[in-house]
Structure 1
Amino acid sequence: MPRHDFLIPLNFKHRVCFTRDAFSSDNSLLAELLEEGGGRRVLVLVEEAVVDLWPKLASEIEGYFADLGFDWRGIRVLKGGETVKNGDELVEAVWHTIDEEHIDRHSYVITIGGGAFLDATGFALATAHRGVRLVRFPTTTLSQDDSGVGVKCAVNRFGKKNWVGAFAVPFAVVNDFQFLHSQDEETRRAGLIEAVKVALVKDDEFFQWISMNMEALAELKPEVLEECVERSALQHAKHIAEGGDPFESGSSRPLDFGHWAAHKLEQLSGFSLSHAHAVAVGLALDTLYSAKCGLLRECDAERVIDVIEMLKLPLWHEALDLRDEDGRRRIHEGLEEFREHLGGELTVLLLRELGRGQDVHHLDEGLVDSCLDELRRRYAVVKKAEGRC
C-alpha cells in the first residue's frame, strides 16, 4: 500500500518581556501585547499567596482594564504551592471557570503566581479547548529566571514529578520585577540556582559574572538580582527557540542539568523539599561527579560548590540516604525514571568545563555513591562549624 508523508511546519512567537508595575495606568506593555493577538475576552487567575502580599492587586488589575475596551471576565484567586500539582482540584477549578466564563481559544487568560501555580494552571489551559491563550506573570525568582519562560506545563502523578503535562508555548510571558521583590529572602535567593545552572551549561561569561557578583546576589541587591534573572530567562528562552529541539523530541536535555537527582529527591522527601533546594543538591552532585570522572577540573567543581554555598543552599538532604531492601540508595531510581520520562536512551548532561556540557549515557553507581558520601561529609562539616552537630 502507498505511504504518504506530509510535513507540518509550525512557527511560534515566544514573547518574553521585562517590566515593572505592569498594571500601572501609564504602562502600556500588556495592552499592546493583547492588542497584537486580536482577542477581546480576558480572565485573570491569581495565586492566593500573591494576593496576600499585594492586597491591592485585584483593584489595580481591574482599574487597568476598566477603559481598554476588552470583554472583562474578572479575577479568580486560587490556591498555589507545590501541593496543587499533586491533585486535580486546581486544574478542575480552572476548567470550570473557563467553561462558565465562555473563554475560547481567542480569549486571554492571565495567570499570576509562582512556578507550581503556573505549571498547574498552564496544564489546565493547554488542555481546555486544546489550548487557550496564556499570558504568564511569574512572581518568584525561580519562575522568572527559568520555568515561567519555558514552553512546558505539568502536574505530578504516580508520585513522579511532572508526569502529566503538555508542551504549550504561552502567548506571552511578562516578568514584572515588582513581584520579584515581594518574596521572602530565602525564596528570592534560592531561585537563583536555575540561573547558576543555565550559566554552567550555556554561558561561561554569565557564570563568571555570577561569581564576581556573588556577594551582591547573596544580599539580594535589587539591580543585581534583576540583571541575573533577566540574563537567565533570556538564556533559557534562547535555548528553547534556537537549540533545535523546543519540544524535547530528542534525548539531550541540557537545561535539566542536575535535575535527574533533583526530581527524585523531591519525590523521596514527599515534596517537602522545594524544587530550588533539590536542584542545588542535584547540581552539586552532578558537578562533583563531572570532576571525579575526569571531565571537569576539580578547581572548577569547587568554584561551583562555593557558589551554591554562598547562596545558602544545601548540598545534602537526608532522603539521599534512603535505601531499598537490598541496601541500594533509592536516589539511583531517579536515573531510570529520568530516562523513561524523556524516552529513548538515557542521556545525562555533565560538565566538561564551565559553560560547556557533555552528554553521557551512563553513570557509574559506585561513583555516584562516592559523590553522595562526599556531599554528606561536607554537610557535616558545615553543620559542625555552625554548632549544630
Structure 2
Amino acid sequence: MNTILEQTFSVPFRYPVCFTEDLFDPKNTILADVLRGERVPKVLFVIDSGVADTHPHLIKQIKAYSESFQVVFTLAAEPIIVLGGEACKNDEVFYQQIVEATHLFGIDRHSYIAVIGGGAVLDMVGFAAAISHRGIRLIRIPTTVLSQNDSAVGVKNSINAFGKKNYLGTFTPPNAVLNDFNFLKTLNDRDWRAGISEAIKVALIKDLSFFEWLEANGEALANRDMAPMKEHIIRSAKMHMDHISGKDPFEFGSSRPLDFGHWAAHKLEKLSDFRIRHGEAVAIGIALDSTYSFLNGKISQEDLNRIINLIKILGFELYASELQGDNLIKGLKEFQEHLGGQLTITLLEKLGKGIEVHEMDEELIRQSVDLLQSFQEKSSLITS
C-alpha cells in the first residue's frame, strides 16, 4: 500500500527597487527606511575594490551615515573590500571570505549584508549570503549600468565553477535594490557603454517603442548624457522586473527569453578569458543572433541594419576572433546543459518580438559570424 501526502504552499516575494542619488547622505533616508524595524539589525558592508578605489571617501560616508541612524542599524564590522570583476566569481576563496565573515561577526538571519559593486560582485556576495544560515538578508547597491538596468533587479546569485559561467548559484530574491546614479559618473567609457546592451536585448524581444527610443537617443547615451541614461536604466529595469514576476522567476522551464544573445555571449566571455566583458559579449551575441534571424528569414534586411547600426553608434565591437571555429558551437550544448531540458534559444520574429526555437543550423551560425566580421572590418551594412 502506498501513502502519498502532497504539500502545497506559496510564498510571496516583495522587494523595492529604488533609484536615487547621494544614497549615503544622511538627508537621504532610503537605506535607513529599508533597515528600519522592531530590532536594530547589524549590517555587514561588502564593497567592490574598483568602487572603493574610485570613491576613496565611501567608507567614511558609510560610517557617518550609520552614526546618523544608529537607532536604526549598526555596522557589524569594518566594511570588507573584495576583488571586483569576473575574477571574484572564478576563485572560491572570495565567497568563502564572506561566509567566514558571517561566522566571525555574528551575521544571523535577522542581520543584513549590503553589497556595493558591479554585477559580478553582487552575484558572488549574493551567493555567499544565500548559503549562509540558509539565507541572510541581502541589500544590493549596484554601481554599474549593467547591474542597475538588469542583473541586480533579479533573483539570481552565482559563482563560476568547472570552467562554466554561473555553474553554482541560487534563486534568492534580495530584500532591496538601491540604485545610486552618482556611481555611474565615475565609470570609464567602456563600463558606461557595456550595460546598454541589456536594454537593447529586452527592447528587441519585448518593446519596439523602447528600441526606437534607444535609436533616437543612441548618440546621447554614447556621449554620456545623464538624463537619457537614467531614463533608459529605469525603463530597462522595469521591463526585466515585469518579466521576472510574470511567468517563471525561478526558471523551472527551459524558456529564458531574457537570455536573447546570451548563449554566444557566455561562451565568448570564457573563450576570451574574460577579456571581453559581459555587456560587450552580449552586444556581440545580440548582433550574432539578429544576423542569424535575418539569414533564417525571420527579420528583414532593414531590421538587421537598424540593429547593427544602433550597436555601432553605442561604440560596441561586432566581432571577435574567438567566434570562429567549433568552440562557439559547443556553447549551444553548454547553454542547453545549463538550462536543462531541450535546447531553447530566443531569436527575433520582428523588432520588438522574440520567438523561441529549439534547434540552430551550424552552417547559418558560421555564416552569421562571417557577416559580423564583414560588418566590423568594412564598417558597412548589408545593401540590396
Give your verdict on TM over 0.5: yes
Shift of 1:157: 1.0
Q: Are the counterparts in 1 of residues 66 and 74 from structure 2 also a CA contact under 8 Å?
A: no
How far has the Cα of 1:41 moved from its partner?
Answer: 1.2
8 Å CA contact 1:39–1:108 kept in 2: the answer is no
Find the residue that maps to 1:23 and give its secondary structure: coil
Measured in 2, the distance between the counterparts of 1:71 and 1:187 equals 33
Q: Which residue of 2 aligns with 1:386?
A: none
Match of 2:182 among 178, 182, 206: 178
Aligned amino acid, residue 139 of structure 2: V
In structure 1, the residue matched to 2:261 is 258
TM-score (norm. length: structure 2): 0.95
Q: 1:162 to 1:37 in 2, by over 3 A?
A: farther
Moved over 4 A (4+): 36-39
CA RMSD of aligned residues (A): 1.3
**Secondary structure in structure 2 of the residue aligned to 1:181:** helix
Deviations 1:172-191 (A, max 9, x none): 00111011212112210121
Letter aligned with residue 241 of structure 1 = S
Quote the sequence identity (%). Answer: 44
- Summarize the alignment of residues 137-156 of structure 1 with structure 2, pairs less than 5 Å apart: 137-156=141-160
1:145 offset after TM fit, Å? 0.8
Aligned partner of residue 372 in structure 2, secondary structure: helix
| Whole-angstrom CA distance in 1 between matches of 2:369 and 2:252 | 31
Q: Does 1:205 pair with 2:209?
A: yes
Rounded to whole Å, the distance in 2 between the matches of 1:36 and 1:227 is: 32
1: distance between equivalents of 2:379 and 2:162? 35
1:248 maps to which residue?
A: 251
- Deviation readout 1:58-97 (Å, 9 max, x if unpaired): 1111111113222321311221111111111210110111
Partner of 1:326: none
CA distance in 2, matches of 1:382, 1:48: 37
Q: Whole-Å Cα distance in 1 between the matches of residues 375 and 304 of structure 2?
A: 14
Return closer, same or farther for 1:5/1:358 CA change in 2, 3 Å cut-off: same
Which of 370, 373, 381 is residue 373 of structure 1 equivalent to? 370
- Contact kept in structure 1, 2:159 and 2:167, CA below 8 Å: yes
Extract unaligned runs of 5+ from structure 1: 324-328, 384-389
Superposed displacement of residue 102, structure 1: 0.3
Indicate the residue corresponding to 1:128 in structure 2: 132
Q: Do the aligned residues in 2 keep the contact of 1:113 with 1:140 (CA within 8 Å)? A: yes
Structure 1 distance, partners of 2:266, 2:182, is 30
User: Residues of 1 paired with 2:350 and 2:38: CA distance?
Assistant: 43
Question: Quick one: which of 295, 301, 323 aligns to 1:292?
Answer: 295
Matched letter for residue 174 of structure 2 = P
Matched letter for residue 151 of structure 1: V
- 1:39 Cα deviation (Å)? 5.6
C-alpha contact 2:194 2:278 (8 A) present in aligned 1: no
| Structure 1 letter corresponding to 2:123 | D
Whole-Å separation in 2 of the counterparts to 1:143 and 1:82? 13
How far did residue 14 of structure 1 move?
Answer: 2.7
Displacement of 1:37: 8.3
Shift of 1:382: 3.3
Which segments of 5 or more consecutive residues in structure 2 lack a partner in the other structure? none
Q: State the Cα deviation string for residues 259-289 of structure 1 (Å, max 9, x = none).
A: 0000011111122211111111100000011
Query: What is the TM-score when the length of structure 1 is the normalising length?
Result: 0.94
SS in 2 for 1:42: strand
**Counterparts of 1:284 and 1:193, CA distance in 2:** 10
* Deviating more after overlay: 2-11 vs 101-110: 2-11
Describe how 1:326-341 pairs up with structure 2 within 5 A. 329-341=326-338
Size of the aligned set, in residue pairs, is 376
Distance 2:217 2:39 in 1: 42
2:220 matched to which residue of 1? 216
CA distance in 1, matches of 2:114, 2:140: 6
- Amino acid of the residue matched to residue 338 of structure 1? F
Aligned to 2:319: 316
Give distance in 1, aligned partners of 2:40 and 2:306.
49
Which residue identity lines up with residue 314 of structure 1 in the other structure? E
TM-fit CA distance, 1:223:
0.8
What is residue 157 of structure 1 aligned with on the other side? 161
Is the 8 Å Cα contact of residues 82 and 88 (structure 2) preserved in structure 1? no
User: Any idea what the Cα deviations from partners look like across 1:122-165, whole Å, max 9, x if unmatched?
Assistant: 11111111110000000011111111111101111111111111
Deviation at 1:8? 2.1
1:85 and 2:111 correspond: no
